[in-house]
Structure 1
Amino acid sequence: MKRSLKRQVRRRLPVRKTRRSPVPAGSPAAVTTSAVALEEKRAAGFRLGFDYGYSWGRSNSVLIQAPPQVTNVWDIRVLFVMSGKGVPYSPIDQAVYEALQANARECIAVSPFGPILELVDQMRPELVLVLEGMELPVQVVDALRMRGVRTAVWFTDDPYYVDVTEKIAVHYDDVFTLELNCVPFYQSIGCPRVHYLPLGANPGVFRPQPVETTYRRDVSFIGSAYWNRVSFVSRILPALESCNSMISGWWWERLPAFTRLGPRIQSGVWLTPEETAKFYYGSRIVLNVHRAYDDESYNCNVRKIPALSVNPRTFEIAASGAFQMTDERSDLLNYYKPGEEVVTFASPEDCMEKIRHYLNHEDERREIALRGLRRTLADHTYHKRIQSLLSSVFADETP
Structure 2
Amino acid sequence: MNILLYDFLNSYIQSDLVYYLEKMGHHCTNVLYREGVDKYDDDRFATRMERDLRSFSYDLVITTNFWPVVSKVCKKHDIKYVSWFFDSPPNLPTAECMDYSCNKIYFFARADYEKYKALGLDNVYYLPLAVNVDRLRQIKVDEKKYCCEISFVGKLYESMLPALMAHMDDYQKGFIDSVVKIQMELYGGYIVDDVITEEFAESVRKRYKSLSDKAIQISKQELAWAVASHVTHLERMTLLSILGKRHQVRLYTFELSEDEKRLLGNVEFCGPVDYLKEMPQVFAASKVNLCPVLKANRSGIPLRALDVMGCGGFLLSSYQSELAEYFLDGDECVMYESIEDAISKANFYLSHEELRRQIAAAGRARIEDAFRYEDRIRVLLDF
Which amino acid in 1 is paired with 2:72? D
- What is the identity, as a one-letter code, of the residue corresponding to 2:155? S
- Mapped to 2, the partners of 1:178 and 1:254 lie a distance apart of 35
Partner residue in 1 for 2:21: 100
Shift of 1:270: 4.9
3-state DSSP of counterpart to 2:3: strand
The residue number in structure 1 matching 2:362 is 371
Note if contact 2:251-2:267 (Cα within 8 Å) is conserved in structure 1: no
Rg bigger for which structure?
Answer: 1
Counterpart pick for 2:9 among 79, 82, 85: 85
AA of the residue aligned to 1:352: I
**Shift, 1:350, TM fit:** 0.6
* One-letter amino acid matched to 1:375: R
Give 1:387's match in structure 2, choosing from 374, 378, 383. 378
Specify the alignment match of 1:201 in structure 2: 131
| Structure 1: segments with no counterpart, 5+ residues | 1-75, 294-305, 395-399
CA distance in structure 2 between the partners assigned to 1:335 and 1:260 by the alignment: 34
Measure the CA separation in 2 of the matches of 1:260 and 1:149. 51
RMSD across aligned positions (CA): 2.5
Q: For structure 1, which segment, 155-164 or 242-251, has the greater mean C-alpha deviation from structure 2 after superposition? A: 155-164
The yes-or-no answer on 1:170 pairing with 2:99 is yes
Question: Following TM superposition, by how much is the alpha carbon of 1:381 offset from its aligned partner in structure 2, in angstroms?
Answer: 2.7
User: Which string of whole-angstrom CA distances, capped at 9 and with x for unpartnered residues, describes residues 353-390 of structure 1?
Assistant: 11111111111000000011111112113233212211
Greater shift, 155-164 or 276-285, is seen at 155-164
- Secondary structure (helix, strand or coil) at the match of 2:133 reads coil
For the residues of structure 1 that align with 2:263 and 2:21, how far apart are their CA atoms? 45
Residue in 1 aligned with 2:250? 246
Counterpart in the other structure of 2:168: none
User: How is 1:1-399 mapped onto 2 (pairs within 5 angstroms)?
Assistant: 76-82=1-7, 84-86=8-10, 89=11, 91-112=12-33, 113=45, 115-134=48-67, 138=69, 140-163=70-93, 166-171=95-100, 172-207=102-137, 209-226=140-157, 227-236=230-239, 237-250=241-254, 252-253=256-257, 256=260, 258=262, 260-262=264-266, 264-266=268-270, 269-293=272-296, 307-391=298-382, 394=383
In 1, distance between residues paired with 2:116 and 2:107?
9
1:96 maps to amino acid: L
SS in 2 for 1:243: coil
C-alpha contact 2:4 2:60 (8 A) present in aligned 1:
yes
Counterpart AA for 2:49: I
Deviation at 1:218, TM superposition (A): 0.3
Alpha-carbon distance change, 81 to 285 in structure 1, aligned in 2, over 3 angstroms: same
Q: List per-residue Cα deviations over 1:6-27 (Å, max 9, x = no partner).
A: xxxxxxxxxxxxxxxxxxxxxx
Contact between 2:289 and 2:308, CA under 8 Å: does it hold in 1? Answer: yes
- Deviations along 1:10-60, one digit per CA (max 9) or x if unpaired, are xxxxxxxxxxxxxxxxxxxxxxxxxxxxxxxxxxxxxxxxxxxxxxxxxxx
Q: 1:173 to 1:390 in 2, by over 3 A?
A: same
In the aligned structure 1, how far is the partner of 2:124 from the partner of 2:343?
40
Aligned counterparts of 1:184 and 1:223: Cα–Cα separation in 2: 27
Deviation of 1:160 after TM superposition, in Å, equals 4.6
Q: What are the Cα deviations for residues 139-164 of structure 1, in whole angstroms up to 9, with x where unaligned? A: x5333223331122222213252425
Where does the alignment leave 5 or more consecutive residues of structure 2 unmatched? 34-44, 158-229
Could you say if the C-alpha distance between residues 389 and 329 of structure 1 is closer, same or farther in structure 2, counting changes exceeding 3 Å? same
Alignment identity in percent? 21
Distance between the aligned counterparts of 1:289 and 1:363, measured in 2?
A: 24
Letter in 2 for 1:108: T
Q: Which whole-Å CA distance do the structure 2 matches of 1:154 and 1:260 have between them?
A: 36
- State the secondary structure of the residue aligned to 1:273: coil
1:202 is displaced (CA, Å) by: 1.9
- Distance apart, 1:184 and its partner CA: 3.0
Deviations 1:76-120 (A, max 9, x none): 2222222x223xx2x311111112112343222224548433332
SS in structure 1 opposite 2:87? coil
**Separation in 2 of the partners of 1:372 and 1:125?**
38
Give, in angstroms, the shift of residue 242 of structure 1.
1.8
What is the letter of the counterpart of residue 60 of structure 2? L
2:273–2:279 Cα contact (<8 Å) kept: no
Q: Structure 1 CA distance, aligned partners of 2:88 and 2:143?
A: 36
1:233, 1:150 → 2: CA distance? 41
Q: What amino acid maps onto 1:144 in structure 2?
A: C
Q: Give a deviation string over 1:226-281, Cα, whole Å, max 9, x none.
A: 233432244333332222210121354376563552561246x3544311111111
Q: 1:337 to 1:288 in 2, by over 3 A?
A: same
Report the AA paired with residue 128 of structure 1. Answer: V
